[in-house]
């Protein structure tokens, strides 16, 4: 009897036409935001999972919007001025597809540095003390702006700590040092000071602070002594390294391919060999005791 009630109910929904099905109700799926990237300092591209209606979009943000345009499943937003690089600009909006299904979205955007400096991670320590806290040094290889360049302890969208660099111009040969841990003194460049993973982890230079940022350089390190999570000690570290390798930031997700951090200390830093950059452990050495050379 329950089956006959169900059949009667379905026929009612389908207009009592035995040949009709529930698919006649049409597309009930609202568009979903897939990604958002800055295409210039004053424009952004938002990608959705289906084509959008050309006349169904609206948006607002603290930076005035000059115009918007829809191309297939992409929404282009043009601002009246460049977005700042040192903080997020929140874009709120609404889009709909050709059948009128709509979705609201909120997405943080970062300004785009159109003339960035080319940098390399050149030195770091991960076993800091109050007098010698965790630090990361960057070497400028080609001149440009630091604006929005980000040093983090994980790939885009990962990690617990990061430093978003300010709007400053750097010349080749210049080195800057970023503090990643609380200490007796505070350096001009610093993260939220949560500290870096002591034995296993990664340090990543990103093109901006967004979850879609480009990986510009990376260092992966391990003491190769853990039996947990593929040798990385924690699942979060293992997943971060795997993601970094997927993005092309390092050659392998095996601890044996990382820089061996066993003998590094707060004064025996991991140091890059010149400007060699093969995204592998062969680029790095461990300094002798007291051999950390910040800024030189």
* Domains of the chain, residue spans: 27-109, 118-286
Task: Name 286's bridge partners.
Answer: 270
| Dist. CA 27–CA 46, nearest whole Å | 22
What pLDDT does 25 receive?
53
Could you tell me which of 28, 6, 165 has the C-alpha nearest to residue 97? 28
The average pLDDT across 29-57 equals 94
Report domain 118-286's class: mainly beta
What pLDDT does 277 receive?
96
- pLDDT above 50 (res 135): yes
- pLDDT bin (cut points 50, 70, 90) of residue 26 is low
What pLDDT does 56 receive?
87
Q: What is the pLDDT of residues 169-213, one digit of tens each?
A: 999 999 999 999 999 989 999 999 999 999 999 999 999 988 889
DSSP type of residue 84: P
Highest mean pLDDT among 29-38, 68-77, 155-164: 68-77
Q: What is the pLDDT of residues 167-178, one digit of tens each?
A: 899 999 999 999
Work out the mean pLDDT of the chain and round it to a whole number: 90
- pLDDT above 90 (res 27): no
What pLDDT does 62 receive?
96
CATH 1.10.3720.10 corresponds to the domain 27-109: no
Residue 10 or residue 220, greater confidence: 220
Encoded tokens for 245: 């390798």
What pLDDT does 21 receive?
39
- pLDDT above 60 (res 22): no
The angle formed by the CA atoms of residues 117, 165 and 167, to the nearest 5 degrees, is 70
**Cβ atoms within 10 Å, residue 177:** 17
Encoded tokens for 79: 């601002």
What pLDDT does 28 receive?
76
pTM of this structure: 0.81
| Cβ–Cβ < 8 Å for 275, 248 | no
The average pLDDT across 230-249 equals 97
| Cβ–Cβ < 8 Å for 222, 167 | no
What percentage of the chain reaches a pLDDT higher than 90? Answer: 82
Query: What are the E-state strand segments in 98-134?
Result: 102-109, 118-125
| Cβ–Cβ < 8 Å for 102, 251 | no
Same fold, 27-109 and 118-286: yes
The average pLDDT across 223-233 equals 97
Range of weakest confidence among 1-10, 37-46, 118-127, 135-144 = 1-10
């Amino acid at each position: 009897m329950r089956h006959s009630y169900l059949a009667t109910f379905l026929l009612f929904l389908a207009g009592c036409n035995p040949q009709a099905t529930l698919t006649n109700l049409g597309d009930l799926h609202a568009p979903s935001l897939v990604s958002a990237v800055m295409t210039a300092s004053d424009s952004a591209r938002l990608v959705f999972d289906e084509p959008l209606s050309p006349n169904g979009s609206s948006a607002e943000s603290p930076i005035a919007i000059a115009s918007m345009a829809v191309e297939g499943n992409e929404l282009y937003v043009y601002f009246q001025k460049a977005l700042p690089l040192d903080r997020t600009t929140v874009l709120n909006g609404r889009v709909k597809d050709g059948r009128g299904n709509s979705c609201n979205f909120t997405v943080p955007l970062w300004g785009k540095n159109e003339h960035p400096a080319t940098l390399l991670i050149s030195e770091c320590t991960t076993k800091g003390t109050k007098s010698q806290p965790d630090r990361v040094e960057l070497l400028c290889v080609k001149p440009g702006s630091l604006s929005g360049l980000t040093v983090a302890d994980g790939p885009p969208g990962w990690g617990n700590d990061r430093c978003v660099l300010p709007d400053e111009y750097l010349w080749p040969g210049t080195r800057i040092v970023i503090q990643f841990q609380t200490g007796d003194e505070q350096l001009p460049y610093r993260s939220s000071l949560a500290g870096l993973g002591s034995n296993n982890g990664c340090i990543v230079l990103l093109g901006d602070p967004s979850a879609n940022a480009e990986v510009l350089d990376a260092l992966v390190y391990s003491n190769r002594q853990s039996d947990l999570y593929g040798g990385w000690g924690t699942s979060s570290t293992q997943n971060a390294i795997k993601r970094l390798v997927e993005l092309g930031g390092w050659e392998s997700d095996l601890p044996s391919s990382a820089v061996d951090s066993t003998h590094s200390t707060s004064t025996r830093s991991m140091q890059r060999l010149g400007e060699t950059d093969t995204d592998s452990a062969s680029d790095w050495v461990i300094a002798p005791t007291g051999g950390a050379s910040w800024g030189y």
